[in-house]
């Protein structure tokens, strides 16, 4: 796994943790949830598909599962 991929995973984890810690009705939390629903999953899918061809399959699986987790968890939280 490349260094920038690890940094991207850490950035996504930090944003996800910060979005979960914010109150549900906060405007910043709503914006962060939208970011976690739309930007991060698509970036994870792009990185995962590129990694599928250039790196071992487990790297692609990590990014594709992260995309699914981000989308499902934050969409569920946004709907509530």
The pLDDT tens digits of the residues spanning 23-51 come to 888 888 888 888 999 999 999 999 999 99
Whats the size of the chain, residue-wise?
80
SS3 state at 55: coil
Whole-structure pTM value? 0.87
pLDDT band at 19 (very low <50, low <70, confident <90, very high): confident
Q: What pLDDT, on a 0 to 100 scale, did the predictor assign at position 59?
A: 95
């Amino acid at each position: 796994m490349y260094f920038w991929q690890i940094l991207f995973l850490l950035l996504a984890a930090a944003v996800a943790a910060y979005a979960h810690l914010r109150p549900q009705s906060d405007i910043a939390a709503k914006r962060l949830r939208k970011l976690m629903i739309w930007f991060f999953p698509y970036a994870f899918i792009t990185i995962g598909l590129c990694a599928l061809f250039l790196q071992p399959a487990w790297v692609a699986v990590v990014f594709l599962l992260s995309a699914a987790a981000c989308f499902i968890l934050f969409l569920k939280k946004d709907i509530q």
